[in-house]
């Protein structure tokens, strides 16, 4: 014997799939907030009064490339020779502290850039 679901029993068609994640943002809003103002997905969702999932779906729908979470190291902008001079003067710990990075990050950066 098959089981009759409640909605079907009272004559309603049951909804299938995942419930919507809120109103879909327009392309103009996404371009203005996400691309031009460089706001995060969460910020865009908060401003538009929707959920971040709706923003992600709209980005995909409008073929707007999502930014990665990876940020480039600010050490890349400093010439290698300047870093080496600073390390000779202040040491690795003092240079790392002055640049606002961890010692291990600075060591790794030097290792990668020097090719060793």
pLDDT at 28: 95
* Alpha-carbon gap, residue 52 to 34, rounded angstroms: 12
- The ranges assigned to domains in the chain are 22-68, 74-114
pLDDT tens digit sequence for 79-108? 999 999 999 999 999 999 999 999 999 999
pLDDT mean over 105-112: 92
* pLDDT over 60 (residue 1): no
pLDDT of res. 38: 87
Mean pLDDT of 18-39: 87
**How high is the pLDDT of residue 20?**
73
Q: Lowest-confidence range among 38-47, 66-75, 76-85, 97-106? A: 66-75
Rounded Cα gap, residues 23 and 44, in angstroms? 13
What phi and psi, each to the nearest 5 degrees, are found at residue 43?
-65, -45
């Amino acid at each position: 014997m098959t089981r009759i679901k409640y909605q079907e029993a009272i004559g309603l068609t049951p909804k299938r799939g995942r419930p919507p994640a809120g109103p879909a943002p327009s392309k103009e809003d996404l371009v203005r907030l996400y691309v031009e103002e460089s706001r995060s997905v969460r910020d865009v969702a908060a401003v538009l009064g929707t959920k971040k999932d709706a923003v992600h779906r709209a980005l995909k729908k409008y073929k707007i490339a999502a930014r990665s979470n990876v940020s480039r190291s600010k050490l890349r902008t400093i010439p290698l020779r300047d870093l080496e001079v600073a390390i000779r003067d202040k040491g690795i710990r003092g240079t790392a502290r002055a640049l606002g990075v961890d010692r291990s990050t600075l060591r790794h950066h030097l290792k990668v850039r020097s090719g060793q």
